[in-house]
Amino acid sequence: MTAAGQQSAVDVVGEAGRRRTFAVISHPDAGKSTLTEALALHARVISEAGAVHGKAGRRGVVSDWLAMEQARGISITSAALQFSYGDTVINMLDTPGHADFSEDTYRVLSAVDSAVMLLDAAKGLEPQTLKLFDVCRHRGIPVITFVNKWDRPGREALELCDELVERIGLQPMPLTWPVGEAGQFQGVRDCLDGTFVRYQRTAGGATAAAEERLTPDQAQAEIGADWARAAEEADLLAASGGEFDPARFIAANASPVLFGSAVLNFGVRHLLDVLVELAPRPVPRRDADGNSRALDAPFSAFVFKVQTGMDPSHRDQVAFARVCSGVFERGMVVTNATTGRPFATKYAHQVFGQQRSTLDTAYPGDVIGLVNATALRVGDTLYAGKPTVRYPGLPSFAPGFFSVARPAEVGRAKQFRKGIEQLGSEGVVQVLRSDRRGDAAPVLAAVGPMQFEVAVHRLDTEFGVPVNLESLPYTVARRLDDPVQRSIVDTGRRSEVLSRADGTDLALFTDQHALNVMLRLHPDLVVSSLVAGTD
């Protein structure tokens, strides 16, 4: 047990400076799980051995992580994976994809300091990556790009880089350039010193691929044409604005690019080194009034994700909070800024499994998991000591799924209204209304359909209201800036206008085509894209 008085002896700023807190943004199947595992295992090998060695590690699946955690001291939760790499503590936050893609996936990005955009070399930018990148851009999160699966036939490296510029206006700044086209991967040219890094395949997939450095002359002599081509292409890109500049990365308008293969562990060490050397460390966070709270101010954190157990017999609710300032010590009593009530954190450890020493204390950049946290909501601020602090509330994002909710039984209207209001205020789903539909039939809006499942389940189990959902055909939402133009869109045929509780009028369209037609017919119509709310 550490007394509060001892906190001042801890070098909070130094501890924060050792942290790198990031998330991977990608489309399903780009290799996020493979890369996550490769990063964690690679870091482990380096940290334990102090040098790369070829010890083969079995390529397990994510469910093996608990065993891995015990064997290797890696701490994993459903929200964050923490591991050391040399002196650095890496916090890798999960961005659930596939069927779990939801508003939570976006909210995770409010808790990171940087992101790794993972691209499949054969596919480039894909829809989910684009959506997540949009959120990063809106929040000014610096992005490192990792082009994965270079061991397989794919697109040209230059073409992939062009796509970043043309589709998302992101200047690529290659730190490595692949030698050998996709599928014929021999290694990379280190763009900063011009050397050749040759990767060696290790049987069964090693935890750390063997690497060998060759001078440019040696590479030219050994590799010949592929080397010359790589050098030419990399120089071409550098000459057209792709010269590496760390300031532009931190300003989030250019992205360091690395090429590799997560499954073969090629380029994984390089990515870890870039995270350590270039990725931003935690900085003082601005509160709702725009004031920054110093890293070494007393403890503060904000809740970015709340996970409610779907099993009604276990009303387990876990709140995940990112530490913004001070030291978190398990057992400390903190204040919830939203309610002003105290919150005891004695259960902070449980969620992290058996060996919890790492989570007895947490520093800025770390994620804490609080179980039995039924009083906590996404967006809540927790703090200790003075001054009090409240971080900006939860942002809302552009929804893509819409359903009308109605109670399945008559006579439950009051509970239904109460339940809907509660779920809306917790951010489980967005709740939209219009005069046309009336209060008895609110429209639930979500980023991913799983949010509807959670809402229906909670209305049933917590509020005793079974509900029926009728899905609406809309997929595209825009902000309607001028209420006078409501009647243009609110036709109820291929478009409609609904209002969100934060006062935003959402213009919904069946698809992009319907929106385009509307804009052609009404050139004066002003709609803007919705990304994140005023977070």
Yes or no: say if 103 and 394 are a contact pair by the CB < 8 Å rule: no
Sole window of 149-157, 380-388, 421-429, 447-455 interacting with ligand GDP (rule: CB under 6 A): 149-157
119 CA to centre of own chain? 15
For residues 287 and 10, what is the distance between their CA atoms, to the nearest angstrom? 24
- Between the alpha carbon of residue 192 and those of residues 117, 300, 356, the distances in Å are 21, 39, 40
Nearest approach, Cβ of 315 to ligand GDP (angstroms)? 30
Q: To the nearest whole angstrom, how small is the minimum distance from the Cβ of residue 192 to ligand GDP?
A: 23
Of residues 102-141, those binding ligand GDP (CB under 6 A): none
Q: Is 494 in the site for ligand GDP (CB under 6 A)?
A: no
> According to the binding rule CB under 6 A, does residue 149 interact with ligand GDP?
yes
Q: Give the phi and the psi of residue 15 in degrees, each rounded to 5.
A: -65, -45
Q: Is 53 annotated as a binding residue?
A: no
Distance of alpha carbon 442 from the chain centroid = 30
Of 99, 111, 18, 66, nearest in space to 351 by CA:
66
* Residue numbers 152-191 binding ligand GDP by CB under 6 A: 152
Check whether 241 is labelled as a binding-site residue. no
Question: Which range of residues in 145-153, 315-323, 362-370, 411-419 is near ligand GDP by CB under 6 A?
Answer: 145-153
Q: Is position 94 an interface residue for ligand GDP (rule: CB under 6 A)?
A: no
User: How much of the chain is in helix, strand and coil states, percent to nearest 5?
Assistant: 30, 30, 40
Number of residues that bind ligand GDP (CB under 6 A): 15
For residue 376, the minimal CB distance to ligand GDP (Å) is 29
User: In whole angstroms, what separates CA 47 from the centre of its chain?
Assistant: 25
Residues 460-489 that bind ligand GDP (CB under 6 A): none
Closer to ligand GDP at the Cβ: 29 or 316? 29
94 is in an annotated binding site: yes
In the complex with ligand GDP, the residue whose CB is nearer, 268 or 497, is 268
Distance of alpha carbon 427 from alpha carbon 40, whole angstroms: 32
The terminus-to-terminus CA distance of the chain in angstroms comes to: 36
148: contact with ligand GDP by CB under 6 A: yes
Tell me: is residue 183 an annotated ligand-binding position: no
**Token reading at 406:** 């109605």
Q: Residues 13, 17, 33, 462: which binds ligand GDP (CB under 6 A)?
A: 33
Q: How far is the CB of 263 from ligand GDP (least distance, A)?
A: 4
Cα–Cα distance between 40 and 35 in angstroms, integer? Answer: 8
Q: Which of 15, 151, 287, 366 binds ligand GDP (CB under 6 A)?
A: 151
Residue 424 binds ligand GDP, judged by CB under 6 A: no
User: Smallest distance, Å, CB 449 to ligand GDP?
Assistant: 18
Pick the closer one to ligand GDP by CB: 36 or 77: 36
Comparing CA positions, the residue from 380, 389, 374 lying closest to residue 291 is 389
Among 262, 373, 389, 456, binds ligand GDP (CB under 6 A): 262
Please indicate if the annotation marks 96 as binding a ligand.
yes
The span of 9-17, 257-265, 281-289, 448-456 binding ligand GDP (CB under 6 A) equals 257-265
Whether the Cβ atoms of residue 34 and residue 200 lie closer than 8 Å to each other: no
Residue 261 found at the interface with ligand GDP (CB under 6 A): yes
In the numeric block, the tokens 């532009």 are attached to: 248
If binding is defined by CB under 6 A, does position 248 make contact with ligand GDP? no
Q: Which of residues 12-31 bind ligand GDP (CB under 6 A)?
A: 26, 28-31
Distance from C-alpha of 25 to C-alpha of 97, rounded to nearest angstrom? 9
Specify the stretch interacting with ligand GDP by CB under 6 A; choose among 188-196, 237-245, 259-267, 453-461. 259-267
Strand, coil or helix: what is 499? Answer: strand
Q: Which is nearer to ligand GDP, 35 or 488 (CB)?
A: 35
Contact status, residue 41 vs residue 81, Cβ threshold 8 Å: no
CB atoms within 10 A of CB 283: 13
Q: Three-class SS of residue 292?
A: strand
Nearest residue to ligand GDP, scored by beta-carbon proximity: 31
Determine how β-strand 367-370 pairs with β-strand 171-174.
unpaired
Angle subtended by helix axes 413-426 and 450-463, to nearest 10: 130
Binding site, annotated residues for GTP: 94-98
The residues binding ligand GDP (CB under 6 A) are: 26, 28-34, 148-149, 151-152, 261-263
Binding site, annotated residues: 94-98
